[in-house]
Structure 1
Amino acid sequence: MTDPLHAELLELAREAALRAGALLRDGRPADLAVARTKSSPIDVVTEMDIAAEKLITDLISEHRPDDGFLGEEGASSEGTSGVRWVIDPLDGTVNYLYGLPTWSVSIAAEQDGETVVGVVAIPLRGETFHAVRGEGAWEGERRLSCRPAPPLDQALVSTGFNYVLEVRTHQAEVAQKLIPQLRDIRRGGSAAVDLCDLAAGRLDGYYERGLNAWDFGAGDLIAREAGALTGGRPGERPNRDLTVVGTPGVFEPLQRLLEDLGAWHD
């Protein structure tokens, strides 16, 4: 039986993600404006990111006024309930700007520092993924399970690239050395979508440097509940230096290879 609190958090996260996804899907203006840049001139925040985050935080605060927030677009509060919401209102902003379908709304709920609920809505694919700690991972009513592990040289692995030129350059060097040792590499543009695709058996592995908590909060739980392993550098949890996710059998050799290639530094 799902813990009543976790069931409440899941329902609220799902409602917020679906509402924000509908706002982004249906409200995207033809002349979409860039509100400001983040880390570099090509890393952008749109007016829709900001509107979606406000919708999410307003909805959650209405139901749970004592919870805390950590949001990509600036939402930050400690809260007093022991629950904190980690929100990426639009993961895949550049895809969204260009009219590409691979973008998502990612909402995770932490209880006493541990992620207990994760929801990722992908509006243009008509998919909503969710997980509750200990309850498995789901897309709608379909329970998810990651793929059986192939040998590393037959693994399909996704990654992402930082917007800062110096970081991207090193990441490209790592990818160049990695490609001959894998089936192939994909670059989708949304970490949350990649993690859900891995949970659904569409990828064998994923890695990226430079992710923030809101990028992988929900997707990390969904992947783990589907049977994947997640981490950072050997012995570490996913973090900004490196996030590695893989099916059992792919995770450890991929993690070791990334360590040897220096994927965790610029």
Structure 2
Amino acid sequence: MAGEAARMLVERRPADLGVAITKSSPTDVVTEMDTAAEQLLRKMILEQRPDDAFLGEEGGANSGRSTVRWVIDPIDGTVNYLYDLPHWSVSVGVEVDGVAVAGVVAAPRLGETYTAVRDAGSWCNGVRLRVRPPTDLGRALIATGFGYRSERRERQGVIVGALLPRVRDIRRAGSAALDLCAVAAGRVDGYYERGTHDWDRSAGALIATEAGAIVQGFHGQSASEAMVLAAPPGTFTALHDALIELGAGAPDY
């Protein structure tokens, strides 16, 4: 179903695609295709699972009669999609009693589909995923993302500027789900971001966890809007401690 939504987003993307609405700020955009993809996913899922609950980025939350909840981001990386950059994905996570049990992140313009099942591993196009070996922070390639509100980006810019001399380099690709998958695939050594939502993390966090990453917030808390950190053990601790030292745990970050 994620693959079908992804194909629709590629094949039906208008040449003159524009912004349908904005959310938290003028740069937090929704396109007509975000809405169309989420509607398609809900329709396909409900045909087979009519009693399940939903949490979608564009459609909000709907309660169900079962213990299963589908967590959907129809386009993770909407600004990339708007600009016709390839780094965007369809993210679909499945929870049972609040615990993620399966996830798919489909990136059609990259030709990649990531999947995971709890306690059964994670995969990309049929190849088993494994995080990179732990490394010291000075040799770590770190992915991150930034918020939509200018005041938050200003503070995040200060933090990332202070972190940059301590690491190998920084990457900002524009899709939290794919950043988590990049940790799982060993393409980066770690990832951190403030401001992500359940739909950004649900599938990608499970994919990274099943590949051997620690995925948490600060001080052992669960990953949340306040912070998500993902890295192999060892690298995780070094990144966590550096970010705390630099003030990324402060309420105004």
Q: TM-score, normalised by structure 1?
A: 0.93
- Aligned position for 1:64: 49
- Aligned position for 1:32: 17
Matched, 1:229 2:214: yes
In 1, Cα distance between equivalents of 2:102 and 2:157: 33
Matched, 1:119 2:104: yes
- Aligned position for 1:90: 75
Deviations 1:98-152 (A, max 9, x none): 1100000000000011000010000001110000000001012111101111111
Aligned with residue 155 of structure 1, among 136, 140, 143 = 140
Deviations 1:193-235 (A, max 9, x none): 1111110110000000000000011000000000011100112
Aligned with residue 133 of structure 1, among 90, 113, 118 = 118
SS of match in other structure, 2:133: coil
In 1, Cα distance between equivalents of 2:70 and 2:246: 34
State the aligned residue count. 251
| Unaligned segments of structure 1, at least 5 residues | 1-15
Aligned with residue 7 of structure 2, among 22, 39, 45 = 22
Query: Which aligned segments of 4 or more residues in structure 1 are displaced greater than 4 angstroms?
Result: none
Deviations 1:14-72 (A, max 9, x none): xx210110011111101102110011001100000000000000100010000000000
Aligned-residue identity in percent: 55
In structure 2, what residue type is equivalent to 1:27? R
Deviation of the 1:262 alpha carbon: 2.0
Deviations 1:71-99 (A, max 9, x none): 00024211111000000000000001111
In 1, Cα distance between equivalents of 2:133 and 2:70: 32
1:151-230 matched pairs, under 5 angstroms:
151-230=136-215
SS of match in other structure, 2:205: helix
| Unaligned segments of structure 2, at least 5 residues | none
SS of match in other structure, 1:234: helix
2:136 touches 2:238 (CA, 8 Å); kept in 1? Answer: no
In 2, Cα distance between equivalents of 1:248 and 1:51: 39
Deviation of the 1:182 alpha carbon: 0.3
